[in-house]
Amino acid sequence: MTPPTTMTGHRHRGRRSALLGLVVNAGLVVVKLTAGLLGHSSALVADGVESTGDIFASAIVWTGLRLSGRKPDARHPFGYGKAEALSAAAVALMLFGAALGIAIQAIREIHAPHHSPAPFTLVTLAFVIVLKETLFRHVSMVAAQVGSIAVKTDAWHHRSDALTSAAVFVGITVALIGGPAWAAADDFAALAAAGIIAVNGGRFLVPALRDLMDGAPDDALLALIEVEARKVEGVLGIEKVLARKVGMGYRVVLHVEADAHMTLEAAHAISTHVRDTLLDEMPTVLDVVVHMEPYCGDPFCRDRARHATALHR
C-alpha cells in the first residue's frame, strides 16, 4: 500500500507554497500602495488593493489544505478532503469580488480629474511583474506535482496579479507619453485589469464546483483503474468504474466480475486483492470499494443477471 506520507508530503508542499505566496503578497501590498499613493496612480493603488485580497486567498488555500489533511472521524467518516475544493471556490469568488471593486473605482476615476502618474511607478511595476510571474511558475509546478486544484487556483491568482500589473504598466506608460490629456489611460488600464481578474475567477470556479459536486474525473484515469484491476488473478471483467475527487486524491467504487460459482470467501479475497493493487499502484487513489458480481460472458447474460438482481430486491 502507498505510504500515507505520500499524501502528507503533498499537502505539506501545497501549504508551504501557499505560505510563501502569503508572505510575498504582504510585502507587495506595502510596495504597491506606497508607490501608487506617492506616484498618483489609481491603477497601482487598485493593484495594491487586489494584492490585499491575495493575502486572504493564500491564507484560505493554506487553511483548506491543512484541514483536508485531517483523518476521517465519526462526524466526517469520509475525511475532510472537500475542504480543498471549498478553498479553491472561495479564492475564485474573491477574484470576482476584487474585479468588481477595481472596475467600480476605475470608472469613477475616469470621470474625475487627477494628476498624471509618476515615472518611478513603472520601476515598481516591473519588479512586481517579474516577482509574481516567478511565483506563478513555482506554485504551478507544485500544483502539478501534488495534483491540487486549490494550489493551482492560488498559482493563477499570482499570474492574474502579474497580468494586472502588466496592464497597469501599459496604462501608466501611455499616460506618461501622452501627457495630461492621456492621464485617464491609467484608469482604463485598471478597468482592463479587472476584466483579466474576473476571467481567471471564472476559470477556476467551475472545476472547484465540479469537485464539490462529485463530478467524474478524466476518462483516462478511469481506464487506468480498470487496467490495474484486470491484472488481478480471478478478475474476469469490470462492469463499472466510478471515482470522485476528494482533496488531492480519488475515492473509487469498482464493480468486479468473477466466477459465479466461487465461494464468498474466495470472492472476498479477490476484492481485497483488487483494492490493495489499486492502492499500491496508484498513489492518487485514497480508497476503493469493490462490489463483486457474477461474470457473464455475453451482454444478454448480463441483462438477465441485472433483471434477477432487481427482482430479488
Give the ranges where 111-244 is alpha helix by DSSP (H): 120-146, 149-178, 185-212, 219-230
Distance CA 21, CA 25 (A): 6
Query: Is the per-residue pLDDT at 24 higher than 60?
Result: yes
Check whether residue 208 and residue 227 sit in a common domain: no
Check whether residue 224 and residue 207 sit in a common domain: no
Check whether residue 55 and residue 101 sit in a common domain: yes
pLDDT at residue 4 in the model: 47
Q: Kindly report, residue by residue over 57-105, the tens digit of the pLDDT.
A: 777 777 777 777 778 788 888 888 888 788 888 888 887 887 887 788 7
Check whether residue 200 and residue 227 sit in a common domain: no
Non-local CB neighbours of 115 within 8 Å, separated by 6+ positions: 40, 183
For residues 273-300, average pLDDT? 86
> CA geometry: angle at 259 spanning 254 and 262, to 5°?
110
Tell which of 212, 236, 271 closes a domain: 212
pLDDT at residue 3 in the model: 45
Check whether residue 251 and residue 165 sit in a common domain: no
pLDDT at residue 115 in the model: 63
pLDDT at residue 122 in the model: 86
Q: Of 5-19, 207-221, 235-249, give the lowest mean pLDDT range.
A: 5-19
Check whether residue 97 and residue 207 sit in a common domain: yes
| Higher-pLDDT residue of 300, 31 | 31
Tell which of 190, 212, 234 closes a domain: 212
Query: Is the per-residue pLDDT at 292 higher than 90?
Result: yes
Q: How many domains does the chain have?
A: 2
Tell which of 212, 241, 276 closes a domain: 212
Check whether residue 17 and residue 76 sit in a common domain: yes
Query: First CA to last CA across the chain, in angstroms?
Result: 35
Strand ordering across the sheet containing 285-294: 237-246, 249-258, 285-294
CATH number of the domain residue 301 falls in: 3.30.70.1350
For residues 147-172, average pLDDT? 78
Distance CA 174, CA 186 (A): 8
Give the global pTM. 0.66
Amino acid type, 250: Y
For residues 268-295, average pLDDT? 92
CB contact at 8 A, 160 and 196: yes
Over pLDDT 70: what percentage of the chain? 87
Check whether residue 117 and residue 164 sit in a common domain: yes
Check whether residue 125 and residue 243 sit in a common domain: no
Query: Is the per-residue pLDDT at 219 higher than 80?
Result: yes
CA distances from 279 to 120, 236, 252 (A): 56, 20, 10
Check whether residue 91 and residue 200 sit in a common domain: yes
**Residue among 4, 116, 135 nearest 71 (CA):** 4
- Full domain range(s) for residue 251: 219-312
Over pLDDT 90: what percentage of the chain? 17
Check whether residue 183 and residue 242 sit in a common domain: no
Q: Kindly report, residue by residue over 43-60, the tens digit of the pLDDT.
A: 677 777 767 777 777 777
Check whether residue 133 and residue 157 sit in a common domain: yes
CATH number of the domain residue 18 falls in: 1.20.1510.10
| Higher-pLDDT residue of 303, 241 | 241
